[in-house]
Amino acid sequence: MDLLSIETLTALFAVGLVAGFVDAIAGGGGLLTLPALLWAGLSPAQALATNKLQSSFGSLSAAVKFTRGGEVRPRDMAVMIACTFAGSAAGAIIVQMIDPGFLRNVIPVLLIGIAIWLLVSPKAGEIDAQQRIGERGFALLAGTGIGFYDGFFGPGTGTFFAIAFVSLLGFNLRKATAHTKVLNFTSNIAALLFFLAGGQIAWLAGLLMGVGQMIGAQIGAHMVIRNGAAIVRPMLVVASIAITAKLIWTDAQNVIGAGMAMVAGWLG
């Protein structure tokens, strides 16, 4: 690909900063970064690979901030981390063999369900609640499953992890968000390793966005530590609805494009 201009690189840095902030609080930053990379002229494969690189910086930055703030202890999450890594690696391998499009029919329904649940349950996630599953069971179910999803498809991974921690382990939203960033970083790195092998990463764009991600993630994580559920809940609702809208709009564009191509073929 051609070298990116200073103006384009500056815009990508700014997008990375905003996405890092959003991701640290509720997930969904990929809705900003992936379209931005495509807009910059990267091919879909390059955009996906570069997106994993830059998002790894943001998730690492947030995880470090939460760890240093005493919100999470990664050592106690060893089994969850291992299962998430394995799941994401498997997803990244399998996505290269089959079409991930079928997931698009399921994900919007799940995300809308999350938004509705948060809206109608005003106390959900404000305090620790009843634990419904053991931590090893959570690691196998949520760690492996959501990790696989991130390696295979991706949008909304942080949102899914946060809700899993709240609904299955009974964590409050602040605690869930802190633990989410550790697993999000794990799944990012696992998938990134397989993109590295493919040689599709645009390094300058990815590293520059990564710096923006780190700065934004530090600010977002600080706000979570200070404000807890008061900021996480509305951001989760917005992220769930935005991701759903993006997926539905993309599908609509694909349908319209296919229809126009068909008509053009009929008209010769």
DSSP string covering 49-88: HHHHHHHHHHHHHHHHHHHHTTS--GGGGHHHHHHHHHHH
Who has greater pLDDT, 2 or 175?
175
Tokens of residue 57, six digits = 């910086």
User: Chain-centre distance of CA 127, in angstroms?
Assistant: 24
At how many degrees (to 10) do helices 6-25 and 229-266 cross? Answer: 130
Complete DSSP assignment for 105-132: GTHHHHHHHHHHHHHH-TTTTTS-----
pLDDT, mean over the chain: 80
pLDDT tens-place string over residues 186-235: 999 998 998 787 777 899 999 999 999 999 999 988 888 877 656 665 66
pLDDT tens-place string over residues 161-184: 988 998 899 898 889 989 999 999
pLDDT tens-place string over residues 107-123: 566 656 655 655 655 55
Q: Evaluate whether 147 touches 86 at the Cβ level (below 8 Å).
A: yes
- In this prediction, residue 125 carries a pLDDT of 47
At how many degrees (to 10) do helices 173-198 and 203-227 cross? Answer: 170
Q: Look at residues 175, 212, 141 and name the one whose alpha carbon lies nearest to residue 70.
A: 175
